Amino acid sequence: MNLPDTLLGEEWYWAAWAVWLLFFARSLLKAPWGRLKDGELLNVWLGMIVLLTLVWSMKAGVKPGLALHLLGATVFTLSFGPHLAFIGLSLVTLGITLNGAAGGFAYALNALLLAGVGVVLSQRLYHLFSLWLPKHFFVYIFINGFFGAALTTIGVGVVSTCFLVMAGAYEWEYLSSEYLPYFLLLAFSEAWLSGMVMTLFIVYRPNWVLTFDDSRYLTGK
């Protein structure tokens, strides 16, 4: 995504700042900060922010605001929960803004479309999968880690595309043929990388994954 400052009318940017501030303040209040008192988990959280800042800086795109890059929202959300994930990904957005990959005035809008939508979709999918599917190790890995990451990426692409059309930045005919389809390819890469990372985390460092519980997914299986 990585919107610049001049693609949309000012009212969109100001509205995004108002909405982002509300959500960011809510996450600051509700985030499980006690989890980061563990030095190891704090280092993992900070490491994800640094790594994703580098990943989001490596983007492909031919027109302003139409950049494509891996997201990492599913791994962040499953590992730390939605509030710490949203704060972390907002810091990632700040990082790419400071290095010139996105506009400063557009920061809040980028954070909402990438961090906000990505975290909300990841969390909602996790809850739906937990409700509908058996509590099993392989279900958690393949459905949450792989399939959930792919759906989240596609969802971010659909929301971003619809927003750009609604804001009058681009025509639907152009985005539906030259932008949105590439999220399907991106989703495949996101699924494999997220699935592999979650597998490694759960096998070697299960304490890094907030949403994984041995008694729920392994005991008696």
Predicted confidence at residue 213, as pLDDT, reads 80
Give the mean pLDDT of 27-37. Answer: 96
Would you state the CATH architecture of domain 10-217? Orthogonal Bundle (1.10)
Phi and psi dihedrals of 169, rounded to 5?
-75, -40
User: Taking the alpha carbons of 203, 119, 65, 186 in that order, is the dihedral positive or negative?
Assistant: positive
Predicted confidence at residue 103, as pLDDT, reads 86
| C-beta of residue 90 within 8 angstroms of C-beta of residue 117 | no
Say which residue the tokens 């959930």 belong to.
Answer: 148
Closest by CA position to 49, among listed 86, 100, 101: 86
Q: Is the pLDDT of residue 44 over 90?
A: yes
Predicted confidence at residue 55, as pLDDT, reads 92
Closest by CA position to 20, among listed 89, 66, 123: 89
Q: Is the pLDDT of residue 124 over 70?
A: yes
Closest by CA position to 165, among listed 153, 178, 184, 182: 178
| C-beta of residue 118 within 8 angstroms of C-beta of residue 159 | no
Burial of 71 (0-12, 13-18, 19+ CB in 10 A): buried
Predicted confidence at residue 220, as pLDDT, reads 56
Predicted confidence at residue 171, as pLDDT, reads 94
Q: Is the pLDDT of residue 34 over 60?
A: yes
CA-CA distances (angstroms) from residue 212 to 41, 106, 143, 146, 149?
15, 35, 13, 15, 16
The reported pTM is: 0.94
